[in-house]
């Protein structure tokens, strides 16, 4: 009860300090809005470009077979096919408005039907990229070879059907139509379900996709940053008590030193919980009302509450550590700013954790912000459950114990 009385007094002083309330509540919300709005606008302007190679096609045949070729080029991927007439294509190519033109001859279908050689003409501008032209040529050759193979097989089946036309009994059930239908079905199945597929992966692509929305990155990061920044209020409260002489009266009161420190720790702990609730609530509900991307609420509310408690507790313990190390008001302000902002940057509150892992290696893991940010990212953005963040919980508990023990050891009660 005595510790609660000390905490209640400090909370009343904190609430009356408008500057402290501005820094603890309104400033992080402003950071989130500005950060989300600016980078969101950049994301809208930086629209993904079509990476396919443009290919203008002149179709002089106009048949179903020519359309099948065009469909095959589209399905092959990598090419952006655009149709035009011959005169327009020649004009654009001469002006270098286009890089290359594919011309389907008028005898395309007739040549395939009779088995004669058909020539597709690929014309490129002299300044066109040689690499891109070669890539286009390979795609065209691949599609046309498949079409030619299919045509030859179907023609062979038709010949087989003519040869066994006079057969009786079970052999007569294998009609040309049935064999051709079966062959076409096999071609379609081979295209839909190839025997060999290539899967292209990019390192950390999953993290990039999950953290792509700016609001998702900003809200957990700034929540951790500003909850820890509030830790300096515990150190300042101790300094003010010593400056006015009221701390001596606390020491003279019938209570242990641990009770006094607990009373100084509780206000920061409660303030941290309130900050977490307001900032995360603003990210989940407020950003959407402002037309920005909302932060996901996650799938495990209990785990989120436990992490919020551990973050606030660790921040409070760090405030006791600052109070034990700093001796003057300037030291409290300078040391708090240097440590808390520095650890926030290194720990992933401003730059995402997965980016820091690539450049700083294990360094971020030596600050509590890293584990706090990783826990919130896993819970809110990746939809992790309680069991998935036990490592982060243990790390935050370890930092809390370390800060409190060192703070208690170094604390000057005189």
What is the pLDDT at residue 124? 86
Question: Mean of the per-residue pLDDT values for the chain?
Answer: 74
**Domains in the chain, start-ordered, CATH in brackets?**
2-43+210-410 (no CATH), 53-192 (3.40.1710)
What is the pLDDT at residue 305? 94
Tell me which of 4-18, 134-148, 158-172, 256-270 is least confident.
158-172
Counting residues of the chain whose pLDDT is more than 90, the rounded percentage is: 10
pLDDT tens figures, 232-282: 877 777 777 776 666 667 666 667 766 777 777 788 888 889 889 998 888
pLDDT tens figures, 342-359: 888 888 888 777 677 677
pLDDT tens figures, 276-328: 999 888 888 887 787 777 788 888 999 999 999 999 999 988 888 888 787 77
Spatial CB neighbours of 156, under 8 Å, sequence gap ≥ 6: none
Residue 28 has pLDDT above 50, yes or no: yes
What pTM, to 2 d.p., does this model score? 0.56
pLDDT tens figures, 70-124: 888 888 777 888 898 988 988 888 888 888 888 888 887 887 777 677 788 888 8
């Amino acid at each position: 009860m005595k510790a609660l009385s000390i905490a209640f007094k400090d909370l009343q002083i904190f609430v009356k300090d408008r500057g402290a309330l501005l820094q603890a509540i309104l400033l992080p919300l402003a950071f989130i809005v500005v950060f989300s709005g600016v980078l969101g606008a950049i994301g809208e302007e930086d629209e993904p470009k079509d990476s396919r190679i443009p290919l203008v096609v002149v179709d002089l045949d106009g048949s179903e077979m020519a359309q099948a070729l065009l469909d095959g080029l589209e399905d092959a991927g990598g090419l952006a096919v655009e149709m035009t007439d011959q005169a327009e294509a020649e004009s654009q190519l001469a002006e270098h408005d286009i890089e290359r033109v594919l011309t389907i001859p008028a005898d395309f279908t007739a040549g395939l039907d009779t088995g004669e050689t058909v020539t597709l003409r690929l014309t490129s501008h002299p300044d066109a990229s040689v690499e891109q032209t070669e890539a286009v040529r390979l795609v065209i050759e691949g599609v046309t070879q498949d079409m030619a193979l299919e045509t030859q097989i179907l023609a062979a089946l038709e010949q087989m059907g003519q040869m066994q036309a006079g057969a009786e009994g079970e052999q007569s059930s294998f009609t040309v139509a049935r064999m051709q239908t079966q062959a076409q079905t096999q071609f379609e199945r081979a295209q839909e379900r190839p025997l060999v597929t290539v899967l292209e992966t990019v390192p950390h692509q999953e993290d990039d996709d999950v953290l792509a929305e700016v609001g998702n990155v900003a809200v957990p990061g700034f929540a951790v940053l500003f909850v820890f920044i509030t830790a300096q209020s515990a150190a300042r409260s101790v300094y003010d008590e010593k400056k006015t002489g009221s701390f001596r009266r606390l020491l003279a009161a019938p209570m242990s030193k641990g009770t006094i420190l607990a009373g100084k720790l509780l206000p920061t702990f409660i303030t941290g919980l309130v900050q977490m609730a307001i900032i995360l609530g603003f990210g989940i509900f407020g950003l959407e009302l402002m037309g920005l991307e909302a932060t996901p609420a996650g799938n495990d509310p209990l785990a989120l509450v436990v992490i919020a408690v551990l973050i606030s507790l660790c921040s409070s313990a760090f405030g006791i550590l600052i109070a034990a190390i700093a001796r003057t008001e300037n030291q409290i302000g300078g040391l708090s700013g240097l440590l808390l902002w520095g650890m926030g940057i290194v720990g992933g509150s401003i730059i995402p954790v997965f980016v820091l892992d690539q450049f700083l290696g294990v360094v971020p893991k030596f600050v509590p912000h890293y584990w706090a940010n990783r826990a919130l990212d896993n819970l809110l953005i990746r939809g992790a459950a309680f069991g998935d963040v036990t490592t982060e919980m243990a790390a935050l508990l370890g930092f809390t114990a370390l800060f409190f023990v060192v703070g208690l050891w170094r604390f000057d009660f005189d």
